[in-house]
Amino acid sequence: MLNNHAPIVSLLVAGKVKFKGANITLDKEFENEFTISKDEYTLPINSGTIEMKENKVIILAD
């Protein structure tokens, strides 16, 4: 999603979530779930929900 994207809520299906950015923080207990290459993070998921609002993204996934 691009900077200042319109607010959106959507469902996610099985696959991989990829994201990158400068100010990303992960809880220590979840770091092992991600594949990290340079500044790109990849997380395999089964399903979930994504919300983007005011340049902040929230992903709820299993």
The verdict on residue 28 lying in a domain is yes
Whether residue 44 is contained in a domain is answered as yes
Residue 13 within any structural domain of the chain:
yes
Total residue count of the chain as it appears in this document:
62
Is residue 51 assigned to a domain? yes
pLDDT digits (tens, 9 = 90+) for 2-58: 889 999 999 999 999 998 887 888 889 988 999 988 889 999 999 999 999 998 889
Q: Kindly state whether residue 23 falls inside one of the protein's structural domains.
A: yes
Six-digit token pair at 29?
A: 């207990």
User: What is the pLDDT, as a whole number, of residue 38?
Assistant: 84
Does 1 reside within a domain?
Answer: no
d(CA 12, CA 31): 21
Can you give the pLDDT at residue 42? 95
Which amino acid type is present at position 52? M
Quick check: is 17 in a domain? yes
Domain extent at residue 35? 8-61
Radius of gyration of the chain (CA): 12
Per the structure, how many domains does the chain have? 1
pTM equals 0.76
